Each structure stands twice: as C-alpha cells, then as structure tokens.
A and B are shown apart, each in its own frame.
Chain A
Amino acid sequence: MLIPKLAFKNLYGAGLRTWLNVIALSFSYVAIIFLQGLYTGMNDQMEASTIKAQYGGGQYWQKDYDPYDPITLDDAHAKVSDELQKLIDEKEAVPILIRQASIYPNGRIQNAVLKGITIDQNVLTIPTSKIISDGGYIPALIGTRMAKSSKLNIGDFVTVRWRDANGTFDANEIKIVEIMKTEVSEIDNGQLWIPIDRMREMTIMPNEATMVVLEKDSKVDKNISGWQYKDLNFLLEDLRALATTKSVGSSIFYLVLLLLAMLAIFDTQILSLFRRRKEMGTLMAMGMTRSKLIQLFTLEGAMHAVLAAVAAIIYGAPLVAYVAKVGYGLPEATDSMGFALGDRIYPIYTAGLIVGTIVLVFTVTTIVSYLPTRRISKLKPTDALRGKLT
C-alpha cells in the first residue's frame, strides 16, 4: 500500500506537470470514444436505412443481373417464378423491373434508370403509394438528388425515352407526382420509380422483373431456377468494407493522438528519473529494493491514465451524451458522396467501446511509463545519493 500512496503523493506534488499530462491523455480518451462511437453510429445508421429502403430481407436477382455491369441490364428481366409470385401476392416480397432510359428535362438529354415497382407494398420504405395517376399520364416518383440534378419539381412533365423488350424505341411524357427525401442515394440518383404494371406494358415484359426484394425474415426456398438469392451479408458487403476502411483510417488518427500523449508521459518519466536521483538513492538507502522503485515510478506514470480517465469522464461524458442525443450534423456535401446517412449521425457508445478504450490507454501508458524506469535496475545507491545516474 506504501507504493500507491507514495505514487499518488508524488503525482500530486508534481502539480501542473501532472495535470497537463492528464489533460493531454484525457483528450485521447474522449477523441477515441467520441470518434469510434460516431463510426459505430454511422455504420449502424447506413445499414439500417439501406436495409429498409433498398435491400429488405434479401433479394432475388434475375440470373443475368449485375448492378455493377450496366451491360447486363438489357437482358436482366424474366417472368417471376411461381414461388416468388406467391410471396408477392402475400405482400412478403416486391418485384422491381429495371430498364435504362433517357430523359429530356428542359431540353437536355440525361441518362436515367426506370424502375417499376408495385404501388401497394410495405416491404421497402419507398413511398410507392404516392405513384398514382389521375389522368392518362405515367406517374413517377423521384428522389431529391434526382430532382436537383434534373431540375424537376412535383407536377412537372418530362419526356422519357426507352427501348422495349425487343429494342424498339418508345417515348412518352412522365409526370413527377412525388419527390421523396431518402438517405439512400442508390434508390435516388438518376432514377424514376413508376408503377410496375405500367412499366411492364411500356416495355412488353408481362409479369417480368429484374429483382424481387423480400420482406425481413421471409422464408423462401433459396434455390429458384433462373434467379439467384442474395442475402444481407452479400448485399451489405460493400457497405461493411467501406466502414472497415473508414475505421482503419480513423485508427491512424487515434494512433497519432495517443503517440503525442505517450510522448508527454515518456518525457515526464525521463525528467522524473533525472530530477529525483537523490530521492531514489535515499529510498534505496532506507531499504527499498530496485524492483519496488521501478514499481513506484511505473505506477506514477500509469496513474496518469487513471486520472485522465476521471478527467475524461468529467468533461467528456456530458459531451458524448449530448451528441448521442442530438446527433452530429453533417455538411450538405456528404449527401452527394453516396453514404446513406441523412442529415445527422447519432453516435452509439457501447460499454465495450468505453472499457476497451480505458484498458487500451491504461496498458499503453503503463508500458511507456515502465520503459524509462529500467535504468533504475542498474542504479547504485551511493551514486544516486551523490546525484549520479549510472
């Protein structure tokens, strides 16, 4: 008990030097926990909104469909199988038919993707119930990003040109009946959502679809001829890879922050060893062993981490709790980067994250505190008393 008491007294006696180190180290705690919580919240938010608006509980893709290869899109359509049609009828799945098209907003040509979807569906959060026509026109739903890039508003008519199943050009006027605000840019950029029945007529693709999106926890035979099942692990692979990349990038930031704090601790330890030579000699002369002396100095260093944790809790906890409640506002430009985030990120701080960070910083601080003290093992009490370090 002597050593912890002594260590605490010494730390307290060092005054401002101790507090400066503690504050620097506490920044590391707060920054690591704050940013990591932000990334966890961001990933959770992206996954949740993408699942709700785009992936559902998994998807069946027509065998030729490859979202990364637009060449496949012309042939990626087939009659919906009986098994999938049963799910669609029971409202446990929704078919989507995809065709490439060109639109002509304000006399300009712009590439677009026509997506036909069942109007009365609840599988995805797309507001499809609004895609209704009270006249002969084709109603369309677009996202805010698409509305911005094409300068289209609700009530505007726009000419759309597409090719039918045989490759013949067709063109007609489409009326924008609704503009949706969605966090998921993949269902927004360059896309026009129209009723699937209308689209099947327009493209001569009766009862066909490019993909069928399942409701969460839908039970279905995974092997359906002509269709390939894609589960959420597959669909979210890219998103998770993106999150991992981001996490690795942010680790570099933590490392730099931690390195600076450790540099301060290391310097403090070296300075202590240099300035407290006579004290060490006295303690040794009074019977303290070298290993006890090493313990004392290591503990002094390590206690910086404990005090820093306390300081971090005092000013960091209210800060992170506040941000977790109100969210972290994102600049407008983030929206165009393709992250399904919306306007704010709500960080998630788990017990594992907080405890893990404290353990990490404490361990690193202890190691860094111990390293300079190894010189004590070679210290002769007589030299130390005379103020020498051997």
Chain B
Amino acid sequence: MINKLIFTLIVFSTIVFSQTQSADEILKKVDANTFSDSQIGTSKMIIHGRRGSRTVEAKSWQKGTDDSFTEYLAPAREKGTKMLKLGDQLWTYTPSTDRTILISGHMLRQPVMGSDLSYEDMMEDPLLQNMYTAEIVGEDTVINRQVWVLDLKSKKDNIAYDSRKIWVDKERNIILKEDLYAKSGKLLKQVLIHEVMKASGRWVAKNITYKDMLKDGDGTEMIIEEVEFDKKIPSYILSKASLRR
C-alpha cells in the first residue's frame, strides 16, 4: 500500500514537474517549427463576407521575422497589388492607381483585402517566446490530435494581445487553435487550423480560419498551397523598388 502511494506520488509529481518545465519547452518547439530564415509560398485567402465569399490568391516571400513581400495574383481586380513589410513599416502598391502607400495610423486597423486579418496583425512578432510566459492548463483533442492547452501571458508591456490561449499538437509542435484576448479578457480573435501538411521537414498549417470574434461572419479562410523554407530570397524582392516592378 505504501509502495503504491509512493509510486502514485512520484508519478504525480513527475507529471506536474514535467508540465511546469515543459510549458516553455513547448513554446520553444512551436517557435522552432514556425521560425525559418526564409519562406516562399503561395496561398489562397477565402473571405466570407455578408454578400458571399471571394477568393484572393497571393505569393509571399518572407525573410526572418521582420521582412516580407506579398504579390496578389488573383482575382483580376487585385492582381498586381503588392505589399512590402520592412521592419515595422508596411507599404502597399496598387496598380490601378500606380501609387505606393505607407500603411500607418488608423489604416493599420483596416482589414487586409476585406478579410478578418488587419494590417497590424501582419506586423506582429511571430515568435511567442519573445512575448509570452506560458503555462500548461490542460490537454484536449483538436482535429483528432492530442494537444496541450497553454495559457500565454504577455511578459512585456508593448505586446498587442495581452494574453492568448493556444492548443499545441503534442507530437508535431504546431498550434492547432489559438484564442487572442484583450487586456480586459475579451476574446478578440480566434485562429482555427483544419488541416496541416509537412513541408521541408516542418509541420505547416495548410487550412486556417481567422475570425474576428467581435464581428459577425464566418471569418477568413487561408489555404496554403505550397511553401518552401530556407530558400535564398534575392535582395531586390524585399525592397521598395519591387513594389512597382
């Protein structure tokens, strides 16, 4: 009986210890899976609006966490529209007006192509470790995968979302669900991953839904069609000159 009790205590303390230890580890692994030196991919964004849905296709080049370039390929109305992010600055170019605009101030809060993603969402630091302290709060199942449920609390003042809740695949270290909260605790956005794929040895979300929880509608669906990691990106692509090219 005593042996049984000791065994139970050992197992229990191991679980608790491993969980408190592993929250940061999980975050590290998630970031390691997310972060790459560079990333080139094509994607499809399906925006569900009040008057139906529309699809926008784009090709993106991303270097580290700071710089990225996106060119919209379809539909015809958006074709040729480009977006460049260099550090904390974001420019867009629209071929119909032949003008490059620096997106700032209130414009950053505007939805990208009418989606549930705002420009300022694109400006966030993607590395969670830099921004949050994590705590495991449970386990769950999402799209038939066993996940850790983690509560993230911002460790700096200047983080856009004060807290988040993430559901991380135990084996693949990829986030399968994410809730983003305001300081008041109000749920602002939700990210749901419906399908994942493996690319260049990493697990990548293939089908994602972004939903602004304060807004009506079905959110915005993002489908990653192909993605390559750690490919060399020519320097001219991540420059303002490429907007008009």
Residues in A lying within 8 Å of B, measured CB to CB: 69-74, 100, 102, 104, 106-109, 111, 159, 161, 163-164, 166-172
Interface: B143 (CB within 8 A): no
Given A71-B104, A100-B106, A169-B161, does the pair A107, B216 have CB atoms closer than 8 Å?
A: yes
A109 to B116, CA, bound (A): 10
- Looking at the assembled complex, report how far the CB atom of B131 sits from the nearest CB atom of chain A, in whole angstroms: 11
A288 to B130, CA, bound (A): 105
Q: Can you list 24 pairs linking A and B with CB atoms under 8 Å apart? A: A70-B104, A70-B105, A70-B106, A71-B105, A72-B105, A100-B105, A107-B216, A109-B215, A111-B106, A166-B159, A168-B159, A168-B161, A168-B162, A169-B160, A169-B162, A169-B188, A170-B162, A170-B182, A170-B183, A171-B182, A171-B184, A171-B188, A171-B214, A172-B186
Residues of chain A contacted by B110 (CB below 8 angstroms): 111
Contact with A along B209-236 (1 / 0, CB 8 A): 0001011110000000000000000000
Beyond contacts A100-B109, A109-B214, A167-B160: 14 other A-B pairs, Cβ-Cβ < 8 A, are A73-B105, A74-B105, A100-B105, A109-B111, A109-B212, A109-B215, A111-B109, A159-B214, A167-B158, A168-B161, A168-B183, A169-B161, A169-B162, A171-B184
A70 to B107, CA, bound (A): 9
A108 to B212, CA, bound (A): 10
In the complex, the answer to whether A161 meets B182 with C-beta atoms within 8 Å is: yes
B85-124 residues with Cβ-Cβ distance < 8 A to A are 104-107, 109-111
A303 to B110, CA, bound (A): 67
A74 to B107, CA, bound (A): 12
Residues of chain B contacted by A170 (CB below 8 angstroms): 162, 182-184
B137-171 residues with Cβ-Cβ distance < 8 A to A are 154, 157-162
Number of B interface residues at 8 Å Cβ cutoff, please give it: 24
In the complex, the answer to whether A166 meets B215 with C-beta atoms within 8 Å is: no
Residues of chain B contacted by A164 (CB below 8 angstroms): 183
Contact with A along B198-216 (1 / 0, CB 8 A): 0000000000000010111
Residues of chain A contacted by B161 (CB below 8 angstroms): 168-169
Residues of chain B contacted by A71 (CB below 8 angstroms): 104-105
Residues of chain B contacted by A163 (CB below 8 angstroms): 160
Task: Please give me the residue from chain A that is nearest to B107 by CB atom.
Answer: A70
Chain B contact surface mostly: loop
A72 to B105, CA, bound (A): 7
- Looking at the assembled complex, report how far the CB atom of A182 sits from the nearest CB atom of chain B, in whole angstroms: 22
Residues of chain B contacted by A106 (CB below 8 angstroms): 216
A104 to B154, CA, bound (A): 25
A102 to B105, CA, bound (A): 12
Given A70-B106, A71-B105, A100-B105, does the pair A168, B215 have CB atoms closer than 8 Å?
A: no
Task: Please give me the residue from chain B that is nearest to A166 by CB atom.
Answer: B157
A113 to B186, CA, bound (A): 20
In the complex, the answer to whether A169 meets B212 with C-beta atoms within 8 Å is: no
Residues of chain B contacted by A102 (CB below 8 angstroms): 109
A139 to B236, CA, bound (A): 51
A111 to B119, CA, bound (A): 14
A161 to B106, CA, bound (A): 12
- Looking at the assembled complex, report how far the CB atom of B70 sits from the nearest CB atom of chain A, in whole angstroms: 22
In the complex, the answer to whether A104 meets B215 with C-beta atoms within 8 Å is: yes
Residues of chain A contacted by B106 (CB below 8 angstroms): 70, 73, 100, 111
- Looking at the assembled complex, report how far the CB atom of A235 sits from the nearest CB atom of chain B, in whole angstroms: 22
A40 to B224, CA, bound (A): 63
- Looking at the assembled complex, report how far the CB atom of B242 sits from the nearest CB atom of chain A, in whole angstroms: 23
A72 to B160, CA, bound (A): 19
Contact with A along B174-195 (1 / 0, CB 8 A): 0000000011101010000000
A109 to B188, CA, bound (A): 12
For the complex of A and B, the 8 pairs showing the least CB-CB separation, nearest first, are: A107-B216, A70-B105, A166-B157, A171-B182, A170-B183, A71-B105, A171-B186, A104-B214
A164 to B159, CA, bound (A): 10
Residues of chain A contacted by B160 (CB below 8 angstroms): 163, 167-169
Residues of chain A contacted by B217 (CB below 8 angstroms): 107
In the complex, the answer to whether A172 meets B215 with C-beta atoms within 8 Å is: no
In the complex, the answer to whether B214 meets A166 with C-beta atoms within 8 Å is: no
A74 to B104, CA, bound (A): 10
A73, A104, A159, A169: most-surrounded residue (chain B CB, <10 A): A169
A254 to B160, CA, bound (A): 59
A111 to B160, CA, bound (A): 18
A111 to B120, CA, bound (A): 14
Residues of chain B contacted by A70 (CB below 8 angstroms): 104-107
